[in-house]
Structure 1
Amino acid sequence: MDGMEFTQLKAFVTVCDERAFGRAAKRLAVSPSALSRAVRSLESRLGIRLLNRTTRSVGLTEAGAVLYERIKPMLAGMDEAVLAVEAYQGTPMGVVRINLPSIAARIAVLPKLQQFRLAYPAVRLDLVIDNDITDVVAQGFDAGVRIGGQISRDMVAVRITPDLRMAVVGAPAYFADRPPPQVPAELKDHFCLTYKWKSTGALSQWRFDNGGSVFDVEVNNVLTLNDTDLLLLAACRGLGLACLVEDLVESALENKQLIRVLEPWCQFFPGFYLYYSERTHMPASLRAFIDFLKIGEPGLLMPKGLID
């Protein structure tokens, strides 16, 4: 159906509803003569009269009645569909799909979900845990969460955590028969548990800061995992030292399950950002979720792929 055909059918149904060209023209905000031409064009195209006209009334022919009965529900359904879509723009509702690593879910999103649910009960969240770097647009996500330096160029990003810091930790049982390292170079004498990226097979670097000079240290990787929660569990069970985000090990440190070492050397790094493709008409549900999580500055378009 082309645009002209739709206009003609809309004109015909409106005239049938109002049983008068004048009232129908007013409803559609067109002139009566333009409305009459549209209906005549439809009749001409179909090759059959649809309306019987007099100076005082408009009636349906048998063919017109058949067409009206079939077309009216279709046009009404289209109007309802448009109104339903417009509702998404005005009121936060529907599903928001977010791609994010497990640690971001734990420290940045889950703590706020109860308040979000109370504020926006019509919004359903689909959180997909993914510790690799995923093209959120190609995979059909509304947004993603990543560390600042990992965000692709030309994405809009909003900060959802402050800068984060790494922590090197080990269990009391691990240190029972070996001294804690005092400087990063002594890590060569320790068993280390390291995160491994599933998509590339690359190992996460053990990176330290010596008063502004950042450097990496090669460690003895006795166990690699692509899950930070399992790395934490392995460290708590005394299998070796792990280098994890402070927020992830905070509880274990408080409960004396882990002991922290090399704290003066541990590096701060850009925190987590929620990012999405630039869009003119953002669903109200996604806007509500972004506004609920963001801290600090408003969304920025990142031209070089780096946040900090």
Structure 2
Amino acid sequence: MRVTDLSELAAFDAVARHKNFRRGAEERGVTASAISHAVSNLEARIGLRLLNRTTRSVSLTDAGSVLVARLSPALLDMGSALDGLNQFRDTPFGKVRINVPSSIAPFVIGPVLGPLIKANPNLTLEVIATDRLVDIAEDGFDAGIRLGESLRDGMTAVKIKPRLRFVLVGSKDYFKKHGKPRMPADLKNHICMQNLYPSGVRYSWVFEKDGKAVEFQPSGPFASDDHELLVQVARAGMGLAFVWESRAVRDLKDGTLVSCLESWCPPEDWLYLYYPTRKYLSAGLRAVIAAMRA
């Protein structure tokens, strides 16, 4: 088989899995027009339409479904065979795509990037940071990172560092005017900024002490899914913010912000790096896991 044939088959496989030319192109590292051209060339050569295209959707024809069912496992086997050559190299070679929530990416991925890339100069890391829920298999990622929670069948999870926690912070000026809350129940008398999911849904602040959990729904004049903005609002003395401690660590150290209800803010569950369970794990992903494992 010619190299161009294999490239076209890989292009078709990527589009077929994502049902989207743009996402398939992103996975392959090419433009959407290039991947569309490759699929069209494949269809012209075999004389069959493999994809139904409209302005809004992409779907497989019957012929396309038959081809992708046989093609995807074969391409995975070829990728595994090529990755097996890493045993003859000093360091892994190839690309690893990771999805991580943007709210925690800097202090989860950031600390390991330098040492990991220095130790593996032939490894390319592609990190996509987003707080939206992502299907890593469908979106072409090798692995994802999330807080400890149940994962769907077919996924393997590895505990990674660091262990994070939320803290409740406010400025010195704010506390001079309003005092410090001593219990979560005291928050009803404070200005409390609201936390949002990327979907726009507000979520409660959850505190825990001695096995007792307490929820509080803030109703302050500002709401955001961006912890950096919430820190800035608290820094300006507008009210209290409930944020990842690592986002506020510099302000806490220099005294710009002060934390409260410390004993009610235990560490969150562990973070996990998760990936599709399969018999063969690429050398690149193994190197990432080794660098991040708790």
Aligned to 2:85: 87
**Is the 1:190–1:220 contact (alpha carbons within 8 Å) kept by the matching residues of 2?**
no
1:278-300 alpha-carbon deviations (Å, 9 max, x no partner): 011221111111111111xxxxx
Deviates more, 1:146-155 or 1:180-189: 146-155
Deviation at 1:164, TM superposition (A): 2.9
The aligned amino acid for 2:131 is N
Report the 3-state secondary structure (helix = DSSP H, G, I; strand = E; otherwise coil) of the residue aligned with 2:158: strand
Structure of higher RCO (CA pairs closer than 8 Å, 6+ residues apart): 1
Report the 3-state secondary structure (helix = DSSP H, G, I; strand = E; otherwise coil) of the residue aligned with 1:174: helix
1:263-285 alpha-carbon deviations (Å, 9 max, x no partner): 11123320211111101122111
User: Pairwise mapping of residues 114-125 of structure 1 onto structure 2 (< 5 A)?
Assistant: 114-125=114-125
Aligned to 2:213: 214
Aligned to 1:245: 244
Report the 3-state secondary structure (helix = DSSP H, G, I; strand = E; otherwise coil) of the residue aligned with 1:198: coil
Task: Quickly say closer, same or farther: Cα 1:256–1:87, change in 2 above 3 A.
Answer: same
Deviation at 1:239, TM superposition (A): 2.2
Task: Quickly say closer, same or farther: Cα 1:206–1:144, change in 2 above 3 A.
Answer: same
Report the 3-state secondary structure (helix = DSSP H, G, I; strand = E; otherwise coil) of the residue aligned with 2:222: strand
Give the % identical residues. Answer: 33
Task: Quickly say closer, same or farther: Cα 1:85–1:259, change in 2 above 3 A.
Answer: closer
Deviation at 1:104, TM superposition (A): 3.0
Aligned to 2:143: 143
User: Pairwise mapping of residues 63-102 of structure 1 onto structure 2 (< 5 A)?
Assistant: 86-87=84-85, 91=89, 92-102=92-102
1:146-194 alpha-carbon deviations (Å, 9 max, x no partner): 0002644442111112543221001123223211211111111222223
TM-score by length of 1: 0.64
Task: Quickly say closer, same or farther: Cα 1:192–1:152, change in 2 above 3 A.
Answer: farther
Aligned to 1:270: 269
1:29-77 alpha-carbon deviations (Å, 9 max, x no partner): xxxxxxxxxxxxxxxxxxxxxxxxxxxxxxxxxxxxxxxxxxxxxxxxx
Q: Separation in 2 of the partners of 1:193 and 1:205? A: 11
Q: Separation in 1 of the partners of 2:131 and 2:260? A: 26
**Is the 1:104–1:145 contact (alpha carbons within 8 Å) kept by the matching residues of 2?**
no
Q: Identify unmatched segments of 5+ residues in structure 2.
A: 2-77
Task: Quickly say closer, same or farther: Cα 1:152–1:194, change in 2 above 3 A.
Answer: farther
**Is the 2:160–2:271 contact (alpha carbons within 8 Å) kept by the matching residues of 1?**
yes
Task: Find runs of 4+ consecutive structure 1 residues off by over 6 angstroms.
Answer: 80-83
Q: Alpha carbon RMSD of aligned pairs, Å?
A: 2.4
Q: Separation in 1 of the partners of 2:178 and 2:222? A: 19
Aligned to 1:74: none
The aligned amino acid for 2:274 is Y
Deviation at 1:126, TM superposition (A): 0.8
Q: Separation in 1 of the partners of 2:255 and 2:190? A: 20
**Is the 2:168–2:261 contact (alpha carbons within 8 Å) kept by the matching residues of 1?**
yes
**Is the 1:231–1:242 contact (alpha carbons within 8 Å) kept by the matching residues of 2?**
yes
Deviates more, 1:119-128 or 1:187-196: 187-196
Aligned to 1:257: 256
The aligned amino acid for 1:268 is P
The count of aligned residue pairs is 216
Q: Which has the larger radius of gyration?
A: 1
Task: Quickly say closer, same or farther: Cα 1:151–1:235, change in 2 above 3 A.
Answer: farther
Deviation at 1:258, TM superposition (A): 0.4
Deviation at 1:114, TM superposition (A): 0.8
Q: Identify unmatched segments of 5+ residues in structure 1.
A: 2-79, 296-308
Deviation at 1:89, TM superposition (A): 7.0
Q: Separation in 2 of the partners of 1:224 and 1:190? A: 15
Q: Separation in 1 of the partners of 2:87 and 2:123? A: 13
Matched, 1:190 2:204: no
Aligned to 2:284: 285
Q: Separation in 2 of the partners of 1:141 and 1:219? A: 35
Task: Quickly say closer, same or farther: Cα 1:81–1:246, change in 2 above 3 A.
Answer: closer
The aligned amino acid for 1:114 is G
Deviation at 1:221, TM superposition (A): 3.0
Q: Separation in 2 of the partners of 1:132 and 1:90? A: 39
Q: Separation in 2 of the partners of 1:241 and 1:150? A: 31
Q: Separation in 1 of the partners of 2:206 and 2:83? A: 48
